[in-house]
Structure 1
Amino acid sequence: MADALVVLKNTVKKRLHPVFIEVDRGASNNKFDKVAKYTVYYQSKAWVNKWWAQPSPDGVYQFPRVLVVTDRQEQINKILKEENMAKIRFTVVTLEDIQRDVYLYI
């Protein structure tokens, strides 16, 4: 479903932090239908059985954040505002944002 899955491991707290990554290029003319797809996946609870899903200390599973890298940030934010009724945690950034943040530490 996702373009990529990154799982960060906190070795101090012994916790996994999965993040779905979606790349959306406006030039591809694809409809951004990820809100509906992630909502169906979230509501299915199938993700709770994945190796990267861990309950918090109080036993609650938290759906992974979805990082959307796009060149049409405003349009995607508008879609998320209108369609994200499940309150899935989407973060929308541009490729330039990623490059700036990554190269800041190199």
Structure 2
Amino acid sequence: MNLSELNAEITSTYQMLYLPAGGDRAKDGSAVFIFTDLVESQDFHGKAGSFMTQGKGTFNAEKFRVEGSFNIVPGSGKGELGEMFINGGSGSFESDEKDPGQVNYKFVLST
């Protein structure tokens, strides 16, 4: 499943640590981050409801690229969408190869 199929309001909380140049980083501004998202949707594969995610990622300032992974918190959902993710799930995200400002998401259900 792709995020492009998700019509939702997402409330995010991030903690981000910006890193100085050094080591494998040629310039300042790269970062590591953790986050929690509340995803509230009216239509995701025909289902309405909500669920929570927790994840982590990195931002590469030289390439202007972001990537990371997240877990859908088991039992955090409400409504039909909550039932869909009752056992949780996982996902990943990364900047689009051709347009780094565009981020692509993928979801995997736990069974």
When normalised by structure 1's length, the TM-score is 0.31
Structure showing the higher helix proportion among its residues:
1
Structure showing the higher strand proportion among its residues:
2
When normalised by structure 2's length, the TM-score is 0.30
Identify the structure with bigger relative contact order (alpha carbons < 8 Å, sequence gap 6+).
Answer: 1
